[in-house]
Each structure stands twice: as structure tokens, then as C-alpha cells.
């Protein structure tokens, strides 16, 4: 039987990313650079064939997925809320300076209605277990979010030493080997490096 693989792609960069503004479930778009990044990763992904294509339903992920879809010639099969970024609650759409102004320097000690790490990791694992069961032996392409993905992979692999979040449009592939998930690729952005102008 063919091995089940899941390839995760983080969405392209947004102005919120650059400003270090909490995104959470906000529906902010990609910026111009983010759309260019998405086009580059799309060309990379078009070199392979995909059985199933799933994306987060948040705008920045959907835009990334739509750019990829046009290049690989496959529509998105499902937009799944379980792939959303960590819900930032009351601090969504704010930067640190605004949080201090609004709630004081100890705002992080207050109940900001943010999703817990345990809840976020649990929904990430549920998603992975679900798609692996539904699509055994298939190549699954998933567009999602950096912090959610980094934390979900820590939980999946039982490895807390990896990064907390992934690079924009990075490619990470896991495969199922005798009931255990393993990496074949982690946080790879060679498609961005290859697009840079050569040093003269």
C-alpha cells in the first residue's frame, strides 16, 4: 500500500506578519510579497501530483491556496476550520504597544479569551488523524498557519525542540511509517532562495 503523506504549506506573508500584529482568526489578506511567495511555492508544488487539497478557511490561507490551485490545476477540496491559526481572542489585530496602552503592561496576566495551546494542538492532531484515516495512501496537500502548524507538529512528533512557528510558504512533509509519523521535509523555503537574484 502506498504511504500516506501530508505536505503542509504555511500561507504567504501579510502586513500583520511584518508589523508583528496578532492575527489569530482575523481575515487579513496577503500583501504583494505574500502573493509573490505563494506563486513561487505553487510552481514548486506543481512538479508533483496531489490527491487531496485542503486549506484553512481564513483569508490569507485561502488566497495562498487559490494561487497554488491555479498553478497545480487542482481545486481545493475542502476549507477546514480546524486548520485556523491559534485564536488570539481580545488581542487579535493588535500589536504589543496597543495592548499595553489598552490593558497595561501586565495584560498577559489577564484573561484575553485566547485559545489554549492544549486546545490548538488537540484540534491539529484531530485533523491529521482524520485525514490520514479518510485518505489512506494518498498525497495530501494542506495550506495552514505558522504557529498552529509548529505547535501541532511538536505534539505529533513528541519533539519540543523544533521551532515554534514556520516560515511563510515553507513546505513540510510528514509520512506515516508503521503507525508512526516521520519527517521527509521540514520548514523548507528553497523556492524562495532559488528566486533571489544571484550575487554579482
**Given the residues 25, 85, 145, 191, the one annotated as active site:** 85
Element (H, E) at 19: helix 15-19
Q: Give the CA distances from residue 166 to residues 20, 46, 144, 175, 200, in Å, rounded to whole numbers and listed in that order.
A: 15, 21, 10, 18, 30
Q: Residue 145 burial (CB < 10 Å; 0-12/13-18/19+)? A: buried
Q: What are 155's three cell numbers?
A: 505534539
Give catalytic status of residue 11 as yes or no: yes
Alpha-helical regions (H) of 20-139: 32-45, 59-72, 96-103, 117-134
Give catalytic status of residue 97 as yes or no: no
Strand 171-177 relative to strand 180-188: parallel, antiparallel, unpaired? antiparallel
Contact status, residue 146 vs residue 64, Cβ threshold 8 Å? no
**Given the residues 11, 25, 145, 191, the one annotated as active site:** 11
What residues are labeled active site? Answer: 11, 85
Amino acid at each position: 500500500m502506498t504511504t500516506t503523506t501530508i505536505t503542509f504549506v504555511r500561507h504567504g506573508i501579510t502586513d500583520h506578519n511584518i508589523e508583528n500584529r496578532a492575527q489569530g482568526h482575523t481575515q487579513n489578506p496577503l500583501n504583494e510579497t505574500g502573493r509573490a511567495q505563494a506563486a513561487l511555492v505553487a510552481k514548486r508544488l506543481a512538479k508533483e501530483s496531489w490527491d487531496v487539497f485542503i486549506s484553512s478557511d481564513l483569508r490569507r490561507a485561502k488566497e495562498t491556496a487559490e494561487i497554488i490551485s491555479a498553478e497545480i490545476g487542482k481545486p481545493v477540496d475542502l476549507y477546514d476550520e480546524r486548520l485556523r491559526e491559534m485564536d488570539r481572542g481580545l488581542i487579535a489585530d493588535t500589536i504589543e504597544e496597543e495592548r499595553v496602552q489598552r490593558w497595561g503592561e501586565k495584560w498577559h496576566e489577564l484573561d484575553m479569551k485566547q485559545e489554549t495551546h492544549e486546545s490548538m494542538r488537540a484540534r491539529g492532531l484531530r485533523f491529521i488523524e482524520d485525514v490520514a484515516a479518510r485518505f489512506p495512501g494518498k498525497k495530501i496537500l494542506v495550506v495552514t498557519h505558522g504557529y498552529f502548524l509548529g505547535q501541532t507538529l511538536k505534539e505529533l512528533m513528541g519533539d519540543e525542540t523544533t521551532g515554534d512557528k514556520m516560515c511563510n510558504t515553507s513546505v513540510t512533509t510528514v509520512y506515516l511509517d508503521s503507525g508512526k509519523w516521520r519527517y521527509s521535509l521540514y520548514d523548507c523555503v528553497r523556492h524562495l532562495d532559488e528566486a533571489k537574484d544571484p550575487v554579482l
